[in-house]
Structure 1
């Protein structure tokens, strides 16, 4: 039914309203993620929605700066920014407000960020992030902890068949430093390698005066993808110290992940070089079946807090909640998160009993609303069905004595009669067996 008097109220492109059904699913997914973060000893922090642009820019690379929403602050005359990523905010907070506290810091966050997007791309400008930052540890075990947590979250969300792609940006940087290539040629190669375009890589190298050994190592980059045997294949292709050190680090992380028992979920991708201006070591992305984009990504970023005056090694990662929602929205547990427990339909003139029952059910942890509108059973039942309410609790029904209540399961209209006190047992078990009548 349309409202003829409704005003036209469009939203800016790239943002959305999330109605209760979707909001419930988002909250359910975020809660499952936070459950793992809490169990691993991380503490939640909340970052501001606005920052001074010049302060935020210290912690962002050129790519993120180009995607930042900026506007003037009437109060100060300074330029404000809406953060396009939460990690630089965490780095600022740790460096300026937590530097006197003992390391390491185990922190997690949940929030929305905004990023400029091309009008034609159709991509959302809002990104829902749930992530962790582990600041103050440069050990391979810290990197392994991030990967193991990502695996645990994906398992906790019910995924199977997912993969975590591991990279090491130091390997690529070592090859480029040893190549002697000009920055312009390196930039073109970076673009081609990130697209796994071997022919483009070969074409660029043919025009550059580099040794055959360097050419072979660079040409190998887009193909260095697979199991841990890739590490040894890469080791045979390079001689520079930085690349070899990066491979040693990756091997150590893989050994620790063996102890965690998550190796079956891992692949190695040494040609993955996105985020090169930001990351300093291990990087990773998580992919789930049926979805073409990563649901989580992160890695080591040892130079970030130093930009705010507090040098500290760091690693972390974040989940893209909307990407997870796209894959999980039809799963039974996520669908069930939209549901509420009870709607009370009172057929008595007096409201005390209905209100008391509602209070007692809420005290036991059940969601419970009272149908305050005066209407017939069918109308109340229809409302419960549309609102994804599991049970319609009828007080004063003709079908039962005064000290009993009548409960209708909304999914199939099957009904049972219960003593009122049975509702408040700790393990309420509403059994609608084949003998239960069908209210209809």
Structure 2
């Protein structure tokens, strides 16, 4: 090998990238702290079994695994929600919360070498543990305030709920395999395949119409009226009414122009139980934040508390923000006999400028401006 290389999916973050990353993290931390969230840090390494407990369907190929000296299987954390759920369970077993926690941390997930995606990303987010769905509004406004604080152009928070699809499957008496197949087709918006598959299932016309329309139930707040009309069971109508109430509240708080709904949104993490949402920014090819409610996750660790949270994807945001204006840089060039004089001058100049000390040959001290 002619050069020292990094593993596939990993890369260094240097120079201006570091400046942007720090700006994003500092901005988001200020927003989270303004909501009363306190910082939490967890180890980058977890037991494999911690994730095996959390997920019903865990794809081991996504994980970076290795062994400790006792031959236990370890893994680099795939997200921060599971480690935080584990930490709250072990550290606050006798307390009911609520716990408001925020973090900025690297997460690791193996990506295909041909996909050109990173295997390590930085997530900045919050977890609100111990409050029921009535606190969803707080979590959503925190996410929206984070997007606003980053001064992003054309941002939008897209809201859905896993309950709409799951409740429809329950009423239609679908098997787990049928549910999973439908979820995949709806998620991919594969309309021809979806129609063919629905024709194979023993569904009533109203049920078939519902599932066929589900991938297209996305848009502004008026889409909730369409979803209500398609709802073939009282419990489905009740879910839509809950989303309408959320929309009214967000409008009254001044966030209306930045929200939309997608009732066909399918959760890619199987621990979600309620609302799910993603943040999108003009110019970004993918979502820049994601989150949702997960009321059953902590129960698997022995602490039955409801929870909701989200995380920003820092690397996806870096191309969407401008580098903050930095202090003007100057150089103080000095000869060997003028070193202390130069250092005193540099200390004074650093109140207004970034200062580089540069050894020179002349027995004098010279201040030079550095081009940006």
TM-score (norm: length of structure 2)? 0.92
Matching residue of 1:370: 357
Query: May I ask how many residue pairs the two structures share in their alignment?
Result: 371
Confirm or deny: 8 A CA contact 2:78 2:109 kept in the other structure.
yes
In structure 1, the partner of 2:89 is 95
Partners of 1:56 and 1:274 in 2: CA distance: 17
Which residue in the other structure is 2:245 paired with? 252
The alignment status of 1:10 with 2:5, answered yes or no, reads yes
* Alignment CA distance shift 1:92-1:366 (3 Å): farther
Listed as ranges, the gaps of 5+ residues in structure 1 are 1-5, 377-394, 398-405, 412-440
Q: 1:409, CA displacement in angstroms?
A: 5.8
How far is the alpha carbon of 1:216 from its aligned partner?
A: 0.7
Q: Distance in 1 between matches of 2:226 and 2:361?
A: 73
Provide the rounded CA distance (Å) in 1 between the counterparts of 2:37 and 2:131. 14
User: How do 1:273-284 and structure 2 match up within 5 A?
Assistant: 273-275=266-268, 277-284=270-277
Distance 2:58 2:348 in 1: 54
Corresponding position of 1:400: none
For residues 197 and 181 of structure 2, the distance between their equivalents in structure 1, rounded to whole angstroms, comes to 8
Taking the aligned partners of 1:207 and 1:73, their CA distance within structure 2 comes to: 49
Partners of 2:198 and 2:368 lie apart in 1 by: 74
C-alpha displacement of 1:107:
0.5
Partner of 1:22: 17
- For the residue of structure 2 that corresponds to 1:113, the secondary structure is strand
Q: Map of 1:24-423 to 2, 5 A cutoff?
A: 24-63=19-58, 65-74=60-69, 76-101=70-95, 103-140=97-134, 142-275=135-268, 277-328=270-321, 331-333=322-324, 336=325, 341-346=329-334, 349-362=337-350, 364=351, 367-371=354-358, 373-374=359-360, 396-397=365-366, 408=369, 410-411=371-372
Alpha carbons 2:64, 2:76 under 8 Å: kept: yes
Measure the CA separation in 1 of the matches of 2:175 and 2:361: 78
Query: RMSD of the TM alignment (CA)?
Result: 2.3
> Is the 2:63–2:75 Cα contact (8 Å) retained in structure 1?
yes
Which SS does the other structure have where 1:51 is aligned? strand
Cα deviation 1:232-276 (Å, max 9, x = unaligned): 221121232442332233223222212321110111100011336
Structure with larger Rg? 1
Question: TM-score, normalized by length of structure 1?
Answer: 0.79
Higher relative contact order (CA 8 A, sep 6+): 2
User: What are the ranges of 5 or more consecutive residues in structure 2 without an aligned counterpart?
Assistant: none
Q: For residues 298 and 134 of structure 1, what CA distance do their matches in structure 2 show?
A: 11
